[in-house]
Amino acid sequence: MRDIGALYELFKAHPIICTDSRKVEPGCLFFALKGENFDGNRFAKQALDKGAAFAVIDDPAFALSDKYILVSDVLHTLQRLAQFHRHQFLIPFLAITGSNGKTTTKELISQVLASHYRIYATRGNLNNHIGVPLTLLAIPEEAEIAVVEMGANHQGEIAVLCEIAHPTHGIITNIGRAHLEGFGGLEGVKKGKSELYRYLAAHNGVAFVNKDEEHLQELLSPAQRAVFYRRTTSFDPHSLDFQVRLEQAEPHIQITFWDEYERPYTANSKLSGMHNYQNVMTAVAIGQYFKVPERKIAAAIESYTPQNMRSQWITTGTTQILLDAYNANPTSVAKTLDYFAGLDKPHKIAILGAMKELGDYSAEEHERIARQASRLDFEKIILVGDEFKEAARQIAALHFDDTHALAEWYRQQDFSGCTILIKGSRSMRLESLLNNDNTEHAQ
C-alpha cells in the first residue's frame, strides 16, 4: 500500500481490527503481527477464510491475492494507522503511566469522566506497543475525552507510545521498584516513566502531579504546565492545588473535597487502604479539572467496584480473602503488606507469590519482602516460587516451589474464620487457589 492515508480509508470502511486469527470477526482488518513463537503472516489466509476483509502482511511470499495488503512492517503500520486515527480528534487525550495503580486509577478516572462526558478508555490492560494502537483505533468519533493507559518495562518505551498517542494531558501515578531488570534499577524507572512528562513539556501538554508521591515533582521540566493535587487536613481557599481530605481508610475509604465555592462533598468508596486513597484522590482531581460536577464525581467514586483480582475482597464461608493477584512488584507488595497487617481482622495469613522482572535485584528484593512480612502481625506466611526459596529459610514461613504445589496444600486446610491475603505476579496465577471455593460474595 502506497501511504497510510489509503489504508485509513480502508480502515474507515472496515473499522474492526484483529490480530488473532482465532478471533476473526466478519469484515475485519487482520494485521499479521509477529511474536517470539509465531508469524502472523502464516495465519493470514486462515483469517481471510474466516471472513476478514483484508490481511495486512509483510512477507511477500504470502501475498496470494488483492485481499493481502503488503507493507514493510506490520507492527509499524499498525502504529502509524493508530497515530493517523488519533490525529482525527481535537479532544483531550489523557495518558496514564506509573509503577503501581495504573489500571485502578484509569478505571476510577474513566468512571468519573464518563459521568459527564462521552469517553473512551483503554480496555483491560492494552497498554503496550500493540495495545495502545489497538486502543486508539477503537476510539469512536463521538468521543469527547480519551483515557490511554501506558505500560513499559524498558526506557524509551513510554516515549514511543507518546509519539503514537500524542497525549495532551498525563499522569504518573507513582515511581516504584517495578520492572527493575528492564529499567536497570530505580533511577532507570524514574527516567522511563518521566518520558511522559518530557513529551508533555515539549508539546505544551498538562502534567497532573500528586504532591504526596515521592519523586514526581523532581521529574518536571522547568516552566512545565502542571496541575497539582494533594491530601489535606483542612481546606485552604488560597491554594491553587486540588485538595482532598481523607476521613478514613478502613474498612473503606471516605473522602471530602470542595467545589470552587468551598462547599464540601463527601464520597464513600468501596476501595480501602492508603495505596488506593492515592488513586481515588487522583480521580477526584482529574474530574474537577475537567469540570465534572462535584456531585457526579462523588457518585462515580462511590459506584466503582474493584474487580479483576485487583484489591478484590472475596468471602467464602467464614473466610475473607483479599485477592490482589493481577500483578506484584516490591513497592506494591510492601504497601499491600502494611495495609493488610493494619486491618482489624482475625487470623491474618499472607500468601505471597514470586515477583518477576527484577533481574539482579531479585534475591535482595524477595529477602526484603520476606523480612518485612516476618515483622508484621501474621499467623502464617506462605511464600511461593523459586525466587522466594532462599528468603523463606531466613524467616518462619512455609515455602512452595510453585502454585500447583501450594494449591494441593491449600485445599486440604481449614481456613474458617481466617483473613487471607493472596498477592503475586500475574504469571504465578495465584487466583487458581480459589477455583474450587464456593464464593458467596465478592465486592
Average pLDDT over residues 62-68: 94
- The partner residues of 351 in beta bridges, in order of sequence, read 382, 422
> From CA 142, how far away is CA 118, in angstroms rounded?
7
Give percent of the chain above pLDDT 90.
81
Grid cell, residue 212, equals 504526596
pLDDT at 203 (0 to 100): 97
pLDDT at 1 (0 to 100): 54
| Position 87 pLDDT exceeds 50 | yes
pLDDT tens column, 196-218:
999 999 999 999 999 998 889 99
Average pLDDT, the chain: 93
Under 8 Å between Cβ of 57 and 77: no
Count CB-CB contacts under 10 A for residue 263: 9
pLDDT tens column, 267-291:
999 998 888 999 999 999 999 999 9
> From CA 409, how far away is CA 136, in angstroms rounded?
45
Query: What is the distance in angstroms between the CA of the first residue and the CA of the last residue of the chain?
Result: 50
Quick one: 77 exposed, middle or buried, by C-beta within 10 A (0-12, 13-18, 19+)? buried
pLDDT tens column, 245-254:
999 988 889 9
Instruction: Between 2 and 221, name the one with better pLDDT.
Output: 221
| Position 308 pLDDT exceeds 80 | no
Q: How confident is the model at residue 327 (pLDDT cuts 50, 70, 90)?
A: confident
Average pLDDT over residues 408-425: 94
pLDDT at 390 (0 to 100): 93
Average pLDDT over residues 80-108: 95
Q: How confident is the model at residue 441 (pLDDT cuts 50, 70, 90)?
A: very low
Q: How confident is the model at residue 436 (pLDDT cuts 50, 70, 90)?
A: low
pLDDT at 273 (0 to 100): 86
Average pLDDT over residues 305-332: 87
pLDDT tens column, 107-143:
999 999 999 999 999 998 899 999 999 999 999 999 9
| Position 439 pLDDT exceeds 50 | no
Give percent of the chain above pLDDT 70.
98
Count CB-CB contacts under 10 A for residue 390: 13
| Position 159 pLDDT exceeds 70 | yes
Average pLDDT over residues 43-52: 96
| Position 242 pLDDT exceeds 60 | yes
List Cβ neighbours of 263 (8 Å cut-off, separation of 6 or more): 294
| Position 25 pLDDT exceeds 60 | yes
Q: How confident is the model at residue 306 (pLDDT cuts 50, 70, 90)?
A: confident
| Position 181 pLDDT exceeds 90 | no
Domains and CATH numbers, the chain: 4-76 (3.40.1390.10), 89-303 (3.40.1190.10), 312-442 (3.90.190.20)
Torsion sign over Cα 378, 379, 383, 384: negative
pLDDT at 100 (0 to 100): 87
Average pLDDT over residues 225-238: 94
| Position 347 pLDDT exceeds 60 | yes
